[in-house]
Amino acid sequence: MSLLGPVEVRTLAKKLNIRPTKKLGQNFVIDGGTVRRIVRTAELSPDDVAIEVGPGLGSLTLALLPEVARVVAVEIDPVLAAQLPLTVAEHAPELADRLTVLHADALRVRPADLGAEPTALVANLPYNVSVPVLLHLLEALPSLRRGLVMVQSEVADRLAAAPGSKIYGIPSLKAAWYADVRRAGPVGRNVFWPAPNVDSGLVSLVRRDPPETSAPRTEVFAAIDAAFAQRRKTLRAALASWAGTAAAAEAALVKAGIDPSKRGEQLGIEDFARIAEHRPPLETDPETDLETDSETDLEPAPETDRETGL
């Protein structure tokens, strides 16, 4: 089986009249060594079902197919989605039956859409929505046991950050709800076409049970959002709107065993789970104040250069 190199990628893009767009976060990998490294680092098993988001022209797809039982490729671009089976049939005809292509928005994917239960996420995620896509898939697909994703280097740092660091925040905490997360190495700019203006990084995720708590995930995430909406404030002040008043926030923090003078970046996911358990009942008008999932970072990011989605 031959992988796609710079000549093959550009030739295929020209044939399809594809011009990589910033809107879809399209930067195609043109280096065979990089996709082999990604597959090797992912530590896949022959019985794994891998889900790949944004397969593009198929560079990583071709490297994945020999290593797993099936690859489910989710592609939002209709031209690329239609071409991918043809590319696999040309370069790896003996593996073509292992590929399923789903023309869909990864932010809307549900288990019923896939025709299989994916066990591993391996992807060069579209950088403009990398964090929203990652969190959505971890929530929507509980069958995922591990993942290796390539994202913007800054985002990789944030996802893997530990409490107390300056870059620790919402992505760090929400990813930690689902998995143990670590940096798995850097990726240079020249392995892409077109070359981005930023470096990239690999992030490894291993699924673990969420913290034991009586509070629903949405409530825990709402507390996280509130704590980091005003990052410089103490938790007593930052959680005031979430709890109803500053006094109510302080009472919830004390009951959770958290010093109200601390800030959000000093706490782990287990701490926020305890805080959420003690949120006081809020007075709401059921006709006007409908409860929603407070996950603002799950919405598509604005169209800026290699947007982090944070």
Residues within the annotated binding site for S-adenosyl-L-methionine? 27, 29, 54, 75, 105, 124
Q: Can you say which residues are annotated as belonging to the binding site? A: 27, 29, 54, 75, 105, 124
With beta carbons less than 8 A apart as the criterion, state whether 54 and 79 touch: no
Q: Which residues face 181 on adjacent strands?
A: 205
Strand order in the sheet with 146-152: 99-103, 70-75, 49-53, 120-124, 146-152, 200-207, 179-187
Q: What are phi and psi of 263, to 5 degrees?
A: -115, 165
Tracing tokens 């889900």 back to the chain, one arrives at 51
d(CA 193, CA 76): 19
- 99-103/49-53 β-pairing: unpaired
Computed on alpha carbons and rounded to an integer, the radius of gyration of the chain in Å comes to 21
